[in-house]
Amino acid sequence: MTTQPSTPATPTSPIFFGLGLAPGLLEALSREKIHTPTPIQARAIPLALQGNDVVGIAQTGTGKTLAFGLPMIQRLAQTKGQGLVLLPTRELALQVEENLRRIGRGVGLRTVVLIGGAPMGPQMSGLRAKPHVIIATPGRLVDHLERKTADLSHVCVLVLDEADRMLDMGFAPQLNTILARVPKERQTMLFSATMPPEITKMAATHMRQPLRIEIAPQGTTADRVQQELFMVRKEDKVRLLSHLLTEVHGSVLVFSRTRHGAKRITKDVRAMKHAAAEIHSDRSLSQRREALEGFRSGKYRVLIATDIAARGIDVKGIELVINFDLPDDAQDYVHRIGRTGRAGLTGRAISFATPEQRADVRIIERLIRAAIPQKTLPTTLPPAPPRPAFEAPEREERSNKPVHRSYRSRGAMSFTPGGSGAAASSPYGRSRPSSPSYGHGGGHGPRGARTPRGRR
């Protein structure tokens, strides 16, 4: 894999004109008031337009969708083939499809989205319409391949977006199946926030002399995000949350470690008289879309989520991200706080840690190569919201395990050509099923299967 050198800074800001884009796409960008490419766009677009295989390493919120979308649309107009974009979650697939439609509207681009939780009928109709681009989660695409309702023989541009996340979620068997169905002669673009050995192996096996572009080192956090830490007892977390929601008046994204915790926090926040919505694997696709749209529009000021929303959800203007629970994987801390401070705005991220989690905090600090400033708890905290007289105890989805530097180092399934669906060993004393279990990626396999990370 060839690493492309960083482009030296120039006195003027880069513009899309000069990157090799067709006039129709430049007009579409101007119409959408998109004038300045991000660093990943400025470096990836010229290489991709030349037909090179590209590996892009960049954090979330850096504009990766247009980095692969613009050259893909232009190359499809030249080759008359088909594009395929694979993503780990339904929400990401819908977001990418929306962005591609906005840019490709003026050139007659046809797209179809294949995701779990949505009816098969409209998806089959969309496939029969010969779309230029298929946007899919791996599990649902495999469903269509098995039903013979999808044909990948015309794919000439393949994009694997959030590739590390797809492997984290156990999609390796589905990816093997899909890659066996697409033509060998194609352009492949792979985008990822991290570069673990599995991604390196994938690039070496399925790409032709890929050019590597790395915008920021792994673990890099957004420059404009002010990070803070509170050491707080578990029983006082809700009271501290209540205090912060009173102090902050903008939109707030709260991360919970489990879906059960997200449900509990949502009830508590609503009891505090704040408009709140929740997003996790127990919510249907329509409920999750309504929650995200309501959060974007201001209908809900507070969104409570599991790590299902930590990557790629493009909600601009989030004033505060609160890690009510520390993530299981230290890398997810970077993705979580990357939801604020986007599009040139400043942001703020506050994490709650119990005194027993000091070691977990140090793991995160080593990853981001910075100490997180610890704040003093307010002298008085508001009372906790009332709870029902009898409430069933919350079922723990996972014991109080320490934060890990990387989930992939804990026995995550490797990506191998023609790999079987054998379960990978788990450090927690049980095998991890090969099928994804999060319930949000159109998983191909038994519903409700559990991974060590717990169903999100």
- Read off the pLDDT of residues 254-267 as tens digits, 9 standing for 90 and up: 999 999 999 999 99
Picking from 81-90, 311-320, 433-442, which range would have the lowest pLDDT averaged per residue?
433-442
pTM comes to 0.72
User: Could you give the 3-state DSSP secondary structure of residue 264?
Assistant: helix
Q: How far is CA 447 from CA 117, 287, 437, 450, in A?
A: 12, 19, 7, 9
75 pLDDT higher than 70: yes
9 pLDDT higher than 60: no
> In which order are the strands placed within the sheet that holds 111-114?
2-3, 211-214, 54-57, 187-192, 155-161, 82-86, 133-136, 111-114
pLDDT of residue 310: 58
Which residues pair with residue 211 across a beta bridge? 2, 54
Q: What is the DSSP string of 157-211?
A: EEEEESHHHHHHTT-HHHHHHHHHHS-SSSEEEEEES---HHHHHHHHHHSSSPE
Q: What is the pLDDT of residues 77-109, one digit of tens each?
A: 988 899 999 999 888 899 999 999 999 988 899
Q: How far, in Å, CA of 316 to CA of 312, rounded?
A: 11
Work out the average pLDDT over 12-29. 86
Q: How far, in Å, CA of 266 to CA of 263, rounded?
A: 5
Picking from 46-55, 115-124, 238-247, 419-428, which range would have the lowest pLDDT averaged per residue?
419-428
Q: Which domains does the chain have, with CATH numbers?
A: 2-214 (3.40.50.300), 225-375 (3.40.50.300)
Q: What is the pLDDT of residues 117-128, one digit of tens each?
A: 899 999 999 999
pLDDT of residue 202: 87
140 pLDDT higher than 50: yes
pLDDT of residue 54: 96
Residues 6+ apart with CB under 8 A from 278: 262, 263, 265, 266, 291, 303, 304, 305
Work out the average pLDDT over 107-119. 93
For the chain, give the mean pLDDT.
82
14 pLDDT higher than 90: no
pLDDT of residue 3: 67
**Higher pLDDT among residues 389 and 21, named by residue:** 21
Q: What is the pLDDT of residues 412-434, one digit of tens each?
A: 434 444 443 433 333 333 333 33
Question: If pLDDT is split at 50, 70 and 90, which confidence band does 388 have?
Answer: low
pLDDT of residue 99: 92
Task: Report yes or no: 215 and 59 within 8 Å, Cβ to Cβ.
Answer: yes
